[in-house]
Structure formats: C-alpha cells, structure tokens
Amino acid sequence: MKYYLRLLIFLIINFGALGIGTLLMNNGPTSEWYIKISKAPWTPPGWVFGFAWTTIMICFSFYMTKLTLIKNSKTVIILFVIQFILNVSWNYLFFNQHLVSLGMITLVLLLMIITLFTIRYTASMKRDTILILPYLLWLLVACSLNGYILINN
C-alpha cells in the first residue's frame, strides 16, 4: 500500500509539472516565434514530444517511488525539487520569454541533476536504474535541439 500511494503522489507531481510547463509555455510550438526560427533537422514531429514526456514521467515516477523507499533522504527530495523547478521553468524561459540561452543553461543543469541521480543511486537502484534512462536520453536530445536553435538563430 505504501508503494502505491507513493507512486500515485509522484505521478501526480510529475504530470502536474508537465501541466504547469504547458501553461507556462504560452502557445509554445504553435507560436509565430517558434515556427519561424531555424530548428535542427533532427527535430522530431510534435506528437513525439507528448509521447516522450508521458513515457518519461511514468518511468520517473516509478524510479522516484523505488528510490524514496530505499533512500528516503533530504538529498533525494532536494534533488527532486530542483529537477521539478528546472523542468517547469524551461518551458517558460524558452517558449514564453524566448530566452534561448537561459533555456540552454536550464537544460544543462537539469541534465546534470538527472545524471547525478543516475550515477549516485545506481548501486541502490540496480536494474531499476533503467527507469531514469529515458529522461537522461531525452535531455540529451533536448540539449541538442536547444543548442542548435541557440547557435543558428
């Protein structure tokens, strides 16, 4: 029961982050600004972003549930909160304010946090470390996309 309650809480928080991010991005990918900028040739179609983030947040919720059952420490919670803030704020910085450089910095910091989770807790999480890998891989893609926009616009 404790596991399922914790999982539900992380699902609500993580999907809440996606919802808040969506609200903060204004028109986001449909805005005139985004449509007109030069984007990376490897930019996936729009539906991929929704699918990717849904998968990432489901996996990350399972990851955080397991991790907090094994290591329920202040450090884990602080890293999670920082991750939440960075994840949500990128949408506002990049899409709403068009601060591509600050968006890139935010993504790199988020990548560092997720990398820290991955490396620091691999011994504790063992095979469940695979649950954070979609987040880590997607952030590498996101950094390449944001970086391309930063350099080419």
Range of the domain at 56: 2-152
What's the pLDDT score for residue 26? 87
Q: How many domains does the chain have?
A: 1
**pLDDT for 8-26, tens place per residue?**
999 999 999 999 999 999 8
* Sequence-distant contacts of 85-88: CB under 8 A, at least 24 apart: 86/110, 86/113, 87/17, 87/21, 88/17, 88/20, 88/21, 88/24
CATH number at residue 77: 1.20.1260.100
Mind listing the pLDDT tens digit for each residue in 79-122? 999 999 999 999 999 999 999 999 999 999 999 999 999 999 99
pTM of the model: 0.95
Span 125-142, mean pLDDT? 98
Distance CA 118, CA 140 (A): 14
Distance CA 153, CA 149 (A): 6
* Cα gap 101→114, rounded to integer Å: 20
Average pLDDT of the chain? 96
